[in-house]
């Protein structure tokens, strides 16, 4: 028995040394594969993983798009709208909570009891590669399962899907998702370079319309990507991003984007707002949020569709937005829409 145990230890040590110097690719070792993630951590995971836990919204939505059957649970509770759209066999899975951010609320016990074989963490490297490596290694030790990190910012979604497809053995579906992302991002870059598409916008996420999204914020990323100028400067520093109507009079945006129906009703009916050019010219828009807002919150992959929504709202390219919405819902949500439903979801009907 001792000789057998020693042989196993030697074999494991040799395998670890072999993979430590390897490139970022998957290699099979019996029932396990060794994968080097985007923090350059080489980790052993099951060869055919059937149960994966997401760390947050980006990994949750990427996993659902590519391989919904692998979801061990959700990082955040699904909205009523999401439950109506998402596949019934996974929509009632348990909620573990999120790893990071102001609303971090990970329930380690629920995660450990879920049967997940590893955790997928997707996002930006913050504050540093070394700090994230330390955090994820510590978490892995605490929950007794591997944690794999993949980079996943807006511009990197095509590569994210390619990597995830390789990791899960779903390269064909991953290519469809990657192609959609590439096409959307290319369209966004063309919008950015189009001299006829330069609109000054005010964007608010509160019920009174006075909590602003600032330039330079991650929540402004899609607008910035397509060349939209946010009138609220990056240097703006008010508690909770609150602005005054006096500031709005000074900035006088050409268009206003809102996420709240209450804010939309206020802006369109209150005389205090009526002096703004955006209100005078009827360029006040209530953004779609079924099942998620398309510009941000969460700052996840649904923002790819947000590029086409902005183009439709500000520049009238409705037909393309409808076409891409139908395609997106089929690919990413596994849900079929007709044209009228897509128009309604986009708030264009």
Consecutive 10-residue runs of the chain (349 residues): their mean pLDDT? Answer: 42 38 37 92 91 93 97 92 93 88 81 93 92 94 95 95 95 98 98 96 96 92 97 76 92 97 97 98 94 91 97 97 98 97 91
Helices in the chain by DSSP H: which ranges?
Answer: 2-20, 57-66, 80-85, 88-91, 108-112, 129-143, 157-168, 171-193, 221-225, 245-251, 261-269, 277-280, 303-315, 318-332, 339-346
∠ CA 218-107-43, rounded to 5°: 75
pTM for this one? 0.88
Task: Provide the edge-to-edge strand list for the sheet that holds 229-230.
Answer: 229-230, 200-204, 255-258, 284-286
Residues 214 and 149 both lie in one domain: no
Name the residue with tokens 């579906």: 173
Q: 145, 177, 209: which is the final residue of a domain?
A: 177
Inter-residue contact 178 to 156 (CB < 8 Å): no
pLDDT tens digit string along 163-193? Answer: 999 999 999 999 999 999 999 999 999 999 9
Looking at the domain assignment, is residue 187 inside a domain? no
Instruction: Give the model's pLDDT for residue 181.
Output: 98
Residues 146 and 53 both lie in one domain: yes
Inter-residue contact 254 to 277 (CB < 8 Å): yes
Q: 119, 142, 177: which is the final residue of a domain?
A: 177
Residues 33 and 122 both lie in one domain: yes
Instruction: Give the model's pLDDT for residue 234.
Output: 86
Instruction: Give the model's pLDDT for residue 100.
Output: 73
Number of structural domains (the chain) is 2
At residue 45, what are phi and psi to the nearest 5 degrees?
A: -135, 165
Residues 146 and 227 both lie in one domain: no
Angle between helices 171-193 and 303-315 (to 10 degrees): 30
Question: In CATH, what number is assigned to the domain containing residue 272?
Answer: 3.40.50.1980
Domain range for 290: 194-346
Sign of dihedral through CA atoms 43, 46, 47, 51? negative
Looking at the domain assignment, is residue 10 inside a domain? no
| CA dist., res. 3 & res. 61, Å (int) | 47
Instruction: Give the model's pLDDT for residue 126.
Output: 86
Residues 337 and 252 both lie in one domain: yes
Instruction: Give the model's pLDDT for residue 241.
Output: 74
pLDDT tens digit string along 18-60? Answer: 333 333 333 334 478 899 999 999 999 988 889 999 998 899 9
């Amino acid at each position: 028995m001792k000789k057998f145990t020693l042989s196993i230890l030697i074999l494991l040590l040799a395998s670890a040394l072999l993979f430590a110097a390897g490139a970022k690719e998957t290699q099979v070792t019996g029932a396990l594969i060794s994968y080097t993630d985007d923090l350059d951590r080489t980790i052993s995971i099951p060869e055919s993983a059937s149960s994966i836990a997401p760390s947050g919204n980006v990994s949750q939505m990427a996993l659902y798009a590519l391989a919904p059957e692998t979801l061990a649970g959700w990082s955040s509770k699904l909205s009523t709208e999401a439950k109506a759209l998402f596949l019934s066999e996974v929509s009632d899975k348990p909620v573990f909570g999120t790893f990071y951010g102001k609303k971090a609320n990970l329930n380690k016990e629920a995660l450990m009891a879920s049967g997940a074989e590893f955790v997928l963490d997707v996002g930006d490297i913050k504050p540093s590669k070394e700090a994230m490596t330390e955090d994820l290694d510590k978490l892995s030790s605490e929950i007794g399962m591997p944690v794999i990190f993949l980079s996943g910012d807006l511009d990197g979604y095509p590569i994210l899907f390619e990597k995830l497809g390789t990791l899960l053995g779903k390269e064909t579906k991953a290519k469809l998702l990657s192609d959609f992302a590439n096409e959307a991002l290319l369209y966004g870059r063309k919008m950015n370079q189009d001299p006829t598409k330069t609109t000054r916008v005010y964007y608010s996420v509160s019920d009174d319309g006075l909590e602003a999204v600032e330039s330079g914020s991650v929540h402004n990323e899609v607008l910035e990507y397509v060349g939209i100028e946010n009138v609220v400067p990056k240097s703006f520093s008010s508690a909770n991003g609150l602005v005054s109507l006096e500031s709005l009079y000074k900035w006088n945006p050409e268009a206003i984007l809102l996420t709240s129906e209450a804010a939309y009703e206020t802006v369109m009916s209150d005389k205090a707002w009526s002096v703004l050019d955006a209100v005078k010219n009827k360029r006040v828009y209530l953004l779609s949020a079924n099942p998620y807002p398309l510009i941000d919150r969460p700052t996840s992959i649904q923002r790819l569709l947000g590029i086409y929504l902005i183009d439709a709202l500000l520049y009238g390219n409705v037909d393309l937005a409808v076409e891409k919405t139908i395609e997106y819902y089929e690919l990413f949500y596994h849900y079929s829409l007709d044209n009228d439903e897509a128009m309604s979801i986009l708030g264009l009907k």
